Amino acid sequence: MNSNGGAPYGSNEPTSFDLQPPQPGVPGPPPGAPQPAGVPYPGNPYAAPTQVVPEQQLPEQQVPQTQQMQQEPGTGRLIVGRYRLLGKLGHGGMGTVWRAKDETVDREVAVKEPRVPDHLPERERSNAFERMRREARAAARLDHPAVVNVHDVAVVDGQPWIVMELVQGRTLGAALQEGTLGVREAAKIGLDVLGALEAAHAAGILHRDVKPDNVLLGPHGRVVLTDFGIAQIEGETNLTDTGGFVGSPEFIAPERVLGQRPGPASDLWSLGVVLYAATEGISPFRRTNTPATLQSVLNATPAVANAAKGPLADAINALLNKDPARRPNAAQVRRLLEQAAQPPQETKVLERAAPGGKSVRIGRKGWIGIAAGLVVATAVTAFLQMGNPFAGPLPDDWKQRDLPKLGASVGVPADFVRDKPVDGSDGTVVSFSDPSGGVWISVDLDRKADDTNGEIPDSASAKAFADWATYEDGEYGSGMADTPAPKGDPKAATYKEKKAAENTVVYTNTDTQVPRLREARIFYYKAGNGDMYRLWIDYPAKGYFTDEGREIAKTAIASLDIDNL
């Protein structure tokens, strides 16, 4: 998958409006300018009691209001003998979301009831139900804390009711009725939404309706991206009717307005509009009617953001580039948002003893000079102790992580988190994974001192061939049970001018609800004391993250440092 017109997400999306392609230099309204007629409460349209299209009215879940709990029609109904409806959480043109109790396991859930007008043609009714089924499938394929968990799809009179995790909270759109967000808060929310989009894109899913009303703010700072009802799943038929499109006009990317094939960059554009609206209090492309809004998406240059500063402003400006090929990718956006989410750094002041026992305060420039000297000294010391550091410097957004129990260290991207220890590994397996779960890096060690049965092969090459044989037999781990026999053979490699070996295996991960094609690059080295090291980098074998995963593997292998050569 790529971010331009070649992305394999469905077919072209025609629109019935006579719209002109993007034209550079067409400005939007300047900051402080009067809003278009018909837009009350200038500067904060989320507080305006304007009438909007039905599909924009339905937040996925909201905190129930007292008046909503007054025995509304349907309250108390038991769905498929299991889910008791307790009260409405929200409703809109396509359905109603209920708070309900799962009487089988005694927990509260959210249940989305389909609601389609009877006067719609049968084809449109069928499409609406199919969209709900796709929503359930799309969300169920994703395992990420910023994506609501789908528990069940209950079929009632041929219509799908989606049963999902109940997240008590309110939407970002509702929060913006009270005012805009600060830079750090907006960046933190943006990071969570970005993580959900990364997970979706890695699974071949485009959300296609990222907007404040689909971002749920839950307890303990949790942020959830909801409503995958119009998501496009790679390889599935497009449901868009001829002459129309799906999504919220002011958040739709220009390429989608023009009917071009969208890609991950289209969802990232929408994230940029959300961040602009969250900090400025107004969507940069909202106009008095849909055609005018879509025309502004294509041609208007947003007013310069006043509230968003620094890296957040850089992220927003880059995301709102009309050309999807020129927008930053998810990794680049993440770096900017992480910088924006950091608290302001305090000026460090060092006190050191001067001759005669007097204390000397060193200012910022002096501190920088001392720090630079310490860095150089530390680097020289490390070089002498290591004898031969890893080949090449790490990228700026990577960190070298020490693994003292393994007598080694390895470079990993800075946003990767260390996973919980594997049960029974005795600290000999250490793994790191990116927030989306799409790529992970693992280092494991077979200690010679523990090898009482002589099972450690004589060389790295022998270990690589031994593992290769298990892949050919389909016996290597439950998640690789369906792995076909690999093509080729293990490859010879070097590590600090010593013999090493590599395997590259493509397999189907069967440990997930939806089996996924994965690729693993595995590096082997046998240390001088007889310990056998294995560095495993695992990433999607097909799709948006494949090339990035291969680059991560190359850098991680180059960064591996073992104490006892």
Active site residues: 209
Q: Which amino acid type is present at position 357?
A: G
Region of 543 (left: φ > 0; alpha: ψ -120 to 50; beta: rest) is: left
Q: What are the φ/ψ torsions at residue 307 (nearest 5 degrees)?
A: -80, -40
- Judge whether 112 is annotated as a binding position: yes
Please name which of 400, 403, 408, 406 lies closest in space to residue 428, comparing C-alpha atoms: 406
Q: What are the φ/ψ torsions at residue 366 (nearest 5 degrees)?
A: -65, -40
How far is it, in rounded angstroms, from Cα 285 to Cα 458?
66
Helix, strand, or coil (residue 259): coil
How far is it, in rounded angstroms, from Cα 198 to Cα 267?
10
What is the CA 459 to chain-centroid distance, rounded? 40
DSSP string across 55-86: GGS--S--PPPGGGGS--TTTTPEETTTEEEE
Give Rg (Cα) of the chain.
27
Helix, strand, or coil (residue 373): helix
Q: Which residues contact 404 (CB under 8 A, 6 or more apart)?
A: none
How far is it, in rounded angstroms, from Cα 329 to Cα 322?
14
Q: Which residues contact 212 (CB under 8 A, 6 or more apart)?
A: 46, 171, 172, 173, 176, 274, 277, 278
Beta strands of 347-413 (E only): which ranges? 350-353, 359-362, 398-403, 408-413
Tokens of 466: 């031994």
DSSP string across 220-232: GG-EEE---TTPE
Binding-site residue numbers are: 112
Annotated binding-site residues for ATP read 112
